[in-house]
Amino acid sequence: MEFIPYGSQWIDDEDINEVINVLKSDWITTGPKLKQFEEGLCNYTGCKHAVGVNSGTSALDIAVGALDLPAGSEVITTPFTFMATSNALLYNNLRPVFADIQKDTRNIDPEAIRSRITPKTKAIIYVDFAGHPCDIEEIREIAEEHDLYLIEDACHALGASYKGKKVGNFADLTVFSFHPVKPITTGEGGAVVTDNSELEEKVRMLQNHGIDRDAVSRYGPDASWAYDMKMLGRNYRLTEIQAALGVSQLKKLDRFIEMRTKIANLYNELLEEIEFIETPSAKNVVVSGWHIYTVLLNGVDRDKFFKYMRENGVGVNVHYIPIYNFTYYRNNFDVCSADFPVTEEVFKRIITLPIFPKMKFSQLQYVIKTIKGFV
């Protein structure tokens, strides 16, 4: 059995041909394919505006930047995510405040959010861990009660739903990622979606050096050279090559989610008899995107299990190291791991098993067989 990665893209001939057509065209950046991809995201999610960018990290950065919060403001988020979530706050001179998670979904706990609110709190970033939407209704109630902005880090969750509605319609701004292991891929890439026209205008400026594209109309029809920089932005643009791949991949998204769900259900069934494995759950009000499949180990040394699986060709992983454990955060923030008992417990026991749309049943059987062999 060849090495089985924890995640992998699925690129077919249709995707390849879309990219080749762009390479043969006059536009390889900032052209019609980007607009088509952004419109496709809007149509799929049901949101009004989408801005494509070159990574999920860039999308987080400009989503936070678009809020234009006072320096030093606090934003509550989860410590159990990739570091890009809270780093986006640091890029914008804001202070991340971590709240503990729920064991079953690994998502941020709404009650923990409540306990962390101070007069300096201005926003909440919640992360849909593994593609499972958070308790969005409860989080929105907290935000409305305290007049807080909401950003949904849905980098795992394109295609997921909450109470019958696609992710992308709940927060002030929602962020997606198109890294190769994500629901769809553009190689690298990301997007910010919103229903707020003013926020969309700011996001689009921040994506392109802070340039106001309306400058030409303000300076007159003959001033084709005119533009204005209104915000301090960066070059986070998505190329036509990437956008073309995104257009093609988006057509397959629902099929990819179905395949991931089928694999997750098989895992749940086949792992049930293994006593030292605790399988994940999905709440009945959500459709999970199953970006990753994580289990908790009972009475087993996680690091020994990790090494054993890797040595036997199964690319298990660990998602995630709590952000407050990283050297930079330890050196710059006074955060005590004891304040996050659930995060600490989950981190010590969690392991990610392979799941991706192209995964074969024989590969899944091998993963199960290898797990049983650990005993």
Q: Looking at the domain assignment, is residue 4 inside a domain?
A: no
pLDDT recorded at residue 1: 75
Mean pLDDT to the nearest integer, 333-355 = 97
Mean pLDDT to the nearest integer, 186-206 = 98
Does the reported pTM lie above 0.75? yes
Give the span between the Cα atoms of 107 and 167, in whole angstroms. 15
Q: Looking at the domain assignment, is residue 198 inside a domain?
A: yes
**What's the total number of domains in the chain?**
2
Positive or negative: CA dihedral 142, 147, 153, 157: positive
Mean pLDDT to the nearest integer, 169-174 = 98
Bridge partner residues of 177 (DSSP): 190
User: 327 with 364: CB under 8 angstroms?
Assistant: no
- Same domain as 60, residue 167: yes
Q: Is 218 exposed, middle or buried (0-12, 13-18, 19+ CB in 10 A)?
A: exposed
What is the share, in percent, of the chain residues with pLDDT greater than 70? 97
pLDDT band at 226 (very low <50, low <70, confident <90, very high): confident
Domain-terminating residue out of 213, 231, 250: 250
Give the span between the Cα atoms of 13 and 240, in whole angstroms. 18
Tokens found for residue 368? 């199960």
- Same domain as 180, residue 52: yes
- pLDDT tens sequence across 45-67: 999 999 999 999 999 999 999 99
Tokens found for residue 254? 């629902």
Mean pLDDT to the nearest integer, 254-282 = 97
Give the span between the Cα atoms of 57 and 109, in whole angstroms. 23
Expressed as residue numbers, the domain containing 306 is 253-374
Average pLDDT over the chain reads: 96
- Same domain as 258, residue 184: no
pLDDT band at 217 (very low <50, low <70, confident <90, very high): low
- Same domain as 303, residue 219: no
pLDDT recorded at residue 17: 98
pLDDT recorded at residue 212: 86
pLDDT recorded at residue 375: 77
pLDDT recorded at residue 215: 47
Q: What is the CATH number of the domain that holds 362?
A: 3.90.1150.10
pLDDT surpassing 70 at residue 352: yes
- Same domain as 237, residue 259: no
Domain-terminating residue out of 195, 228, 250: 250
- Same domain as 261, residue 193: no
* Inter-CA distances, 231 with 58, 173, 351, Å: 16, 18, 42
Give the span between the Cα atoms of 107 and 74, in whole angstroms. 20
pLDDT band at 213 (very low <50, low <70, confident <90, very high): low
Could you give phi then psi for residue 2, rounded to 5 degrees?
A: -70, 160
- pLDDT tens sequence across 139-154: 999 999 999 999 999 9
- Same domain as 140, residue 97: yes
User: 178 with 246: CB under 8 angstroms?
Assistant: yes
- Same domain as 208, residue 274: no
Bridge partner residues of 239 (DSSP): 29
Candidates 53, 129, 165, 80; CA nearest to 291 is 129
